[in-house]
A and B are shown apart, each in its own frame.
Chain A
Amino acid sequence: MAERTVLFKGIRGGLKIYIDPDAPFNQIRTELIEKIRNSKQFFEGSTVNLHFSGKKLDSEEQKEILECAVREIDIGTVEFNEEAGNSPSVDLDGSFDGIEEGMTKFIRGTVRNGQRVFYEGNVVVLGDVNPGGEVIAGGNILVLGILRGLAHAGATGNRQAIVAALSLQPTQLRIADIITRSPEGENSKPAYPEIAYIKGSDLVIEPYLPGKGK
């Protein structure tokens, strides 16, 4: 697998894009477009402000990137910032890896039909997620209620993310790139909390027993 050369960091109303100073432009461009395409759904209906840092791009290169990007998303303001000051020193993998310890958003109340929670970190819903409601998180998703809608954990690519609920009855369950739905004909509602995670290449669901420890 090719080394990542572009790091996306979602910020309020936009994206911080750090470009590896040593990477060749072609690779950067390809990866950038791919990442923008993958993140498109998060920016539906809003303009995105782009802040570039890292590798210094000349005006031709900048233009090219913007031309490609504008085909995918609605661009707001653009900044090409040359300092390497805010470059993260660790890995350039774009997915959220704070699933053991990381930023978490708490939603108080029920996520209703037509409502969409998107957060790059973990999400805890203190309520239900009704059918038609969507929770999309870069990290884990915990629902302290009945999950009847859609949950997508590890949405930016982290397959270690989990989904857990007091009652797991989702219309669809997704972790990273794996999409599943409940087996046909299964109408019985679980009477106990369950946890869903990826084991190998399958999405498995187990009863959540406190103290079991994974």
Chain B
Amino acid sequence: MGEVIVVTSGKGGVGKTTTTANIGTALALEGKSVVLVDADIGLRNLDVVMGLENRIVYDLVDVVEGVCRLKQALIKDKRFEGLYLLPAAQTKDKNAVSPDQMQKLCETLKEQFDYVIIDCPAGIEQGFKNAIAGAEKAIVVTTPEVSAVRDADRIIGLLSANELFDVRLIINRLRIDMVKRGDMMNVDDTIDILGIDLLGVVPDDENIVISTNRGEPVVMEQGSMAGKAYKNIAKRILGENVPLMNLETEETFMEKLLKLFGKNKKRTY
């Protein structure tokens, strides 16, 4: 029996789809069977990010309406053993599916896969309600910015109101240089407000833009810090205790000098 995890945020553009794609791929690389479900009906993106858009024949709405069998809609990713995608419909909208239908679908998927990861749309309306309906765990993604954190807080409140209490946090697009200058919220500030367990921190990484454009999850890119962070997150989901990565890259000359004098305390994440 698998686990159903919803990846949500409230705020748009903080990295839910990227997170879903990469956690899913990383879990598959660890040998698990994973299905990624795109719940963003009408504005689907997961297929694009995974590079599978031209293999879509049937979608989630077709399955729920009984137009096709589940197996016909599932797209097997040929690059990663055990990884499947259930795409969203693009020519419909979020009212095409009900929470009950989503719940039944998730129950069916649970029986076939180790992990069912649902990419939740932005917002708190029907799309959100559908996406969380079948989930037993949630990952809240936020960036270290005041508006994203506000929305994440709202979402966490709504998740509790819907009896979803196993909620963990991913802080995405952290820029360590800005944090050091005091221009960006640090990890502790964010956890202080949101008050949930931290699952991982993903640094801002140009490789994400590049890989997304190529339709390749960034975990495939060996030199990417973000890719490494996602792989660590997947390990943590599997129960391994992986320490947070040291996100600092090169020391500046000044820092080296200060370190010589024992004055520079290196902050590890």
Whether B235 sits at the interface, judged by CB under 8 Å, is: no
Residues of B within 8 A of A110 (CB): 195
A114, A128, A148: which contacts B154 (Cβ < 8 A)? A114
Find chain B residues with CB under 8 A from A46 CB. Answer: none
User: Whole-angstrom distance between the alpha carbons of A132 and B150 in the complex?
Assistant: 8
Interface of B is mostly: helix
Complex interface: chain B residues within 8 A of A148 (CB): 193
Binary flags per residue of A101-123, CB closer than 8 Å to B gives 1, else 0: 00000000010111100000000
Q: Which of A165-181 contact B (CB under 8 A)?
A: none
Q: Are B157 and A131 in contact (CB under 8 A)?
A: no
- The reply to whether the CB of A140 lies closer than 8 angstroms to some CB of chain B is no
For the complex formed, measure the closest distance between the CB of B189 and the CB atoms of chain A, giving whole angstroms: 11
- Contact (Cβ within 8 A) B157 A115: yes
Instruction: Please name all residues of chain B whose beta carbon is closer than 8 Å to the beta carbon of A130 when the two chains form the complex.
Output: 153, 193
B156 at the A/B interface (Cβ < 8 Å)?
A: yes
Residues in A with CB closer than 8 Å to B156 are 112
How many angstroms from the CA of A8 to the CA of B156 in the assembled complex? 35
CB-defined interface of A123-137 with B at 8 Å, one 1/0 digit per residue?
Answer: 000001011100000
Q: CA of A148 to CA of B156 in the docked complex: distance in angstroms?
A: 17
Known: A114-B157, A114-B158. A131 touches B195 (CB 8 A): no
Identity of the chain B residue whose Cβ is nearest the Cβ of A111 in the assembled complex: B157
Q: Which residue of A lies closest to B10 (CB)?
A: A113
CB contacts (< 8 Å) of B158 on chain A: these are 114
Q: Could you tell me the distance between the alpha carbons of A3 and B157 in the complex, rounded to whole angstroms?
A: 43
Query: B150 to A113, Cβ gap below 8 A?
Result: yes
- State how many residues of chain A have any CB contact under 8 Å with chain B: 10
Looking at A112, A115, A128, the one whose CB has the most chain B CB atoms below 10 A away is A112
Within the assembled complex, what's the spacing in Å between the Cα atoms of A113 and B153? 6
Kindly list chain B residues whose C-beta atoms are within 8 Å of the C-beta of A112.
153-154, 156-157
Chain A residues in 8 Å Cβ range of B195: 110, 128
Q: How far is the CB of A86 from chain B (nearest CB, A)?
A: 35
Q: Mark B125-151, 1 if CB is under 8 A from A, else 0.
A: 000000000000000000000000011
Q: Report chain B residues within 8 Å CB of A113.
A: 150-151, 153-154, 157
Residue of A nearest to B160 (CB): A112
The distance in angstroms between the C-alpha atoms of A131 and B150, with both chains bound, is: 7
Hey, which chain A residues are within 8 Å of B193, CB to CB?
A: 128, 130, 148
Q: How far is the CB of A125 from chain B (nearest CB, A)?
A: 13
Report the minimum CB–CB distance from B186 to chain A (whole Å): 15
CA distance A128 to B151 in the complex (A): 16
A68 to B67, CA, bound (A): 53
Please name all residues of chain B whose beta carbon is closer than 8 Å to the beta carbon of A131 when the two chains form the complex. 150, 153
B207 to chain A, nearest CB (A): 32
* Chain B residue at smallest Cβ distance from A110: B195
Chain A residue at minimum C-beta to C-beta distance from B151? A113
**Residue among A114, A131, A132 having the largest count of chain B Cβ atoms under 10 Å:** A114
Closest to A148 in B: B193
How many whole Å from B164's CB to the nearest CB in chain A?
A: 14
Question: Bound state CA distance, A115 and B156, in angstroms?
Answer: 11
Complex-state Cα separation, A130 to B154, whole angstroms? 9
Instruction: Report the bound CA distance from A132 to B154 in whole Å.
Output: 8
Instruction: A114 to B10: give the CA distance in the assembly, Å.
Output: 12
> How many Å lie between the Cα of A130 and that of B151 in the bound state?
11
Q: Tell me how far the C-beta of A118 lies from the nearest C-beta in chain B, rounded to whole angstroms.
A: 16
For A132, what are the chain B residues with a Cβ–Cβ distance below 8 Å?
Answer: 150, 153-154
B138 CB to closest chain A CB (Å) equals 14
Per-residue contact bits, chain B 187-200, to A (CB 8 Å; 1 contact, 0 not): 00000010100000
Residue of B at shortest CB range from A131? B150
Given A113-B150, A114-B157, 16 other A-B residues pairs in contact with their CB atoms under 8 A: A110-B195, A112-B153, A112-B154, A113-B151, A113-B154, A113-B157, A114-B153, A114-B154, A114-B158, A115-B157, A128-B193, A130-B193, A131-B150, A132-B153, A132-B154, A148-B193
Q: Can you name 20 A-B pairs with beta carbons within 8 Å? A: A110-B195, A112-B153, A112-B154, A112-B156, A112-B157, A113-B150, A113-B151, A113-B153, A113-B154, A113-B157, A114-B153, A114-B154, A114-B157, A114-B158, A128-B193, A130-B193, A131-B153, A132-B153, A132-B154, A148-B193
Top 10 nearest A-B pairs (CB, nearest first) are: A112-B157, A113-B153, A113-B154, A114-B154, A112-B153, A130-B153, A115-B157, A113-B150, A114-B157, A132-B150
